[in-house]
Chain A
Amino acid sequence: MRIAVVGHATWFANHYPENRQNDLNVLCLDVREGDYSWLIVLRNWRPDVTLFYRPELYPERFLRNIDGVRIAFLTEPLPAVNNGKLEPTAESALRLQVYGGMAWHAYHRRLYYDSGRAATAAILGWPVDAYRPMPIDTTVFHPPSTNMERPIDACFVGKATPHRIARLEYLRSSGLRFLWVAHGVHGGRLARLFRRSRVVLNVHADGVAAQEPRLYLAAACGCRVVTEPLSTPPAGLRPWIVEEPRDWTERVVQEHLTAHAAQRWSSTDEAERLALGVRRLLADEYAVVRPVFESGAAA
């Protein structure tokens, strides 16, 4: 099967198919914004299935001419719903504008990464087919093969926002070995960073409960992910993703470090990690769409 994935390498290389470098049947296309003529490459390549990250970016005239099953994976945050009304923040309001260009019917399958936003999608009238966590490249994001040292106590990966600064700033002057990476690390380097970290912190950009892909990237590397409340429970690796409603004092983080030291990677964890794989998602979704697609009724 010829698989294609389209998404900015900087952000989505962590979510490209496993073992892509050694497989000529996989085409991963980095995104160059502004002029989307490079999408013709995808048409030429004639994939059986294509996974589009940030599908709202691509003009319909290119999409319609790409062979095979087209799966849209929407990755931008949406506002939460309160009492039946959207509660946009500056972050999510901006993303909503970007979604205005989405060619919904050019895709055979439309997935959203956060099932906690199903109510939002319903209010917006979006034809989302399923909610799944963003798949991860499981050949890159995995626990260390040996009992290697984890010299970083706590790590956070994400851009600085007022909410995050308020939440994490104290760690800079704490006794913990704390590392904050704002951007620029992805793929193998990010996986190595996680494998050298004991606890990975997850702080929402604007403090609103949501799901984030980094939860699973970090947990797949055997880190204890300490997170602010999520919009929905984790979709896998639950022993490793812990919602922490208390204030994140140094003592609280220490408790999680102690808990991490006692945790062992089980066969169930490994099965759940593999279930988050990109190829697994593609196989699942292709199986769903294929009968409809081949009857000519899809899209």
Chain B
Amino acid sequence: MKLACFTMLRNESSILEPFLDQIDTFFDHATFLDHESTDDSVETVRDRGSSAIELHKLKAPGYPQAAVATLFARRILKQSEPDFLFLLDCDEFLPFSDRSELESFLRGFKSFDALSLRWLNICPSRLDGGNIFSAPFLRAPEPSETITKVVLSNRLASRDDWTVSQGYHLLLPQNGAALRVADVEDRQVYHVPIQSRTQFHFKIAAGARRLQQEAVNLRLHQGWHWVELARDLGFRQMSDDALTDIALCYPDKPPPRPAPRAKLDFTFPYIRSLYQETAGSQSGQIIGLLRQFAHPEEAHQPGSFTVTDATGAVLFSSGGPIVPEGTAHPAPRLPLDLFNGTLAEHYSTLVEPLFSLPAKLPPTAWAGHVPFMFSLFHTLRPETYVELGVHNGASLIAAATAAATYQVPTALVGVDSWQGDAHAGVYEGESIYQDLKTYLSATFPNARLERCFFSEAIPKFATGSVDILHIDGLHTYDAVKEDFTSWFDRVSPTGVILFHDISVFERGFGVHLLWEELKERFLTLEFHHSFGLGVVLLAPEDERIKPLAALARDKQAMRAYRSLVADVARVLPERMDAYGQRGTISDEANGAAARLAAVEAELDTARRTLSAVYSSTSWRVSAPVRMLRRALGT
């Protein structure tokens, strides 16, 4: 028996080695079609060095899986003449222990045109990004009621009256053709939709953005829950339990009371390699998100595509006949506006530093701005950084890490009373202060804390000595204006002033009011995620400031940059989890008070998130859509 497999892949490097183990075990021939991966997926496939594997490349602004799979399926059935052709994604695994078991299963289906296998969602028992195959999986109680997985037999090789559906779930007859499909009930393909928290973030972000760009499905009221899920994930942390529920019900929404979970009793004996999330695979995913800033006119042709072989020769292209192999045509270049103009010119200053991580990330409403802090330090190389309102120290630690990363001998000073206020809430500040002080003195000796009211610290700084002033104290209009005016002369004439919470419009937050005034007088940048960050550039013509000033003046670049920073920030907590560096400054020894403070801080973050969502433009704009969806019961 001869068996073949066709697989499309895009940024699958983490799970690709285990998937290739499956290919080695079961298949005589495998065709991989890479859809513009930006991680090292292509290299991983190549490095297997298997003569049974052929690798092609797909260039397409959309995701024309059905059209491409149909073309390839016909080609493989005719040229390689397998008895059966499987169409698998990299997150799908067969339920057989070895090749002989698979062959004995398939022998009974030779008289069919195709098999329809059941599809069972499974989920790793841990979602922290470690090797998911080292522990038993959890399984959905039942296979999907609606989704199956199709396997084609060689009886289709001589026929053209069929196509494969998107997702390889169905074999569709054309022109009323009769197809004999065996409905297999006792075997299921295992599907791992969520491999880790980080992977799921990327999957959802990419999927939602694609849906929004293509718009076709959203207009048909399909896929909205992905867009909402992406927004939910962006704004709040989901528990592992919630993610597991999503995985086991994929692609449907989990019901309010999910069925009890069970352990999968299959352990994938054919998988020898590790599932591995590395810095490289994560960077590749982020670059993949960036690439979705495709040229606008491409979004209007989501079905267009070109397939090239390893030499760059075009094999297929949409709308035309199959081009004979060996006829070389230049593959169309994917236009990437993002990397033209301002962001390309200042890539190393503005973009590259965004992918940095802070040494520690305590609970904070500020987390979304950590990536930009690195760009700011890379650009300015400040001698003095002062932060008004430190609390858990997330932004101060990010600044200290940035200074160390770029070898800037910055004096970093955090000023706070650690008593809380009407907006941060009253918290047990003593232990937070002590923990942070201990951590900084051991880790970043150039950072120090001043425990006092903001006004009391002013005399400790010479006029014009502060390169970056970060204002994040009490957020009423009067308080923040007082902070701004009283500290203004301490800031260097070429300095930068940061304001947090410019996008919060309730509970008496008045930063947005001052921000509107400042925008009239200064060149500014603003970010809207994580409650908003305003950046005032006092000397736009200063050589160091020029990249930021160029960004402030280029609205299109700033729009892309804003989105990029939010995307990178969205997965920051999960990336920090890989190091175990997320959490409070306190450890267990620091007692319940600190833990309670952390919980309260998270609760406060959640409250502020909710109010920010309700007051956000996107929430208001999307209100009619939500109403319509409720009315339609979708």
Contact = CB atoms under 8 A, between A and B. Distances in A.
A44 to B, nearest CB: 4
Given A40-B357, A44-B356, A34 B442 contact: yes
A24 B407 contact: yes
Interface stretch (B78-86, B180-188, B577-585, B603-611): B577-585
B404 A296 contact: no
A40 B279 contact: no
A40 B47 contact: no
Contacts of A295: 47
Interface in B355-386: 355-360, 374
Interface in B428-457: 439, 442-444
A32 B279 contact: no
Given A24-B407, A44-B356, A44-B374, A35 B443 contact: yes
Given A37-B360, A40-B357, A61 B279 contact: no
A32 B356 contact: no
A67 interface: yes
Contact of B47 (A32, A41, A67, A296): A296
A65 B401 contact: no
B580 A61 contact: yes
Q: Which range contains the number of A residues in contact with the other chain?
A: 20 to 34
A38 B404 contact: yes
A5 interface: no
Nearest to B17: A296
A24 B278 CA distance: 26
Nearest to A65: B279
B155 to A, nearest CB: 40
B43 interface: yes
B40 interface: yes
Interface residues of B, number: 28
Contacts of B356: 43-44
A45 interface: yes
Contacts of A297: 47
Given A37-B579, A37-B581, A65 B278 contact: yes
B464 interface: no
Interface in A38-61: 38, 40-41, 43-45, 61
A183 interface: no
B374 A65 contact: no
B375 to A, nearest CB: 12
A62 B360 CA distance: 13
Contacts of B444: 38
A48 to B, nearest CB: 14
B579 A40 contact: yes
Nearest to A30: B445
Which of B44, B359, B374: most chain A CB closer than 10 A?
B359
Contacts of A66: 279
17 contacts: A32-B442, A34-B442, A37-B359, A38-B401, A38-B404, A38-B443, A38-B444, A40-B579, A40-B581, A43-B356, A44-B355, A44-B356, A61-B578, A61-B580, A65-B579, A296-B40, A296-B43
Interface of A: 24, 27, 29, 32, 34-35, 37-38, 40-41, 43-45, 61-62, 64-67, 295-297
Interface of B: 40, 43-44, 47, 278-280, 353, 355-360, 374, 401-402, 404-405, 407, 439, 442-444, 578-581
Nearest 6 CB-CB pairs, A to B?
Answer: A44-B356, A37-B359, A44-B405, A41-B404, A65-B279, A40-B359
Given A24-B407, A41-B401, A66-B279, 20 more contacts: A32-B442, A34-B442, A35-B439, A35-B442, A37-B359, A37-B579, A37-B581, A38-B443, A38-B444, A40-B357, A43-B356, A44-B353, A44-B355, A44-B401, A61-B580, A64-B278, A65-B578, A296-B43, A296-B44, A297-B47
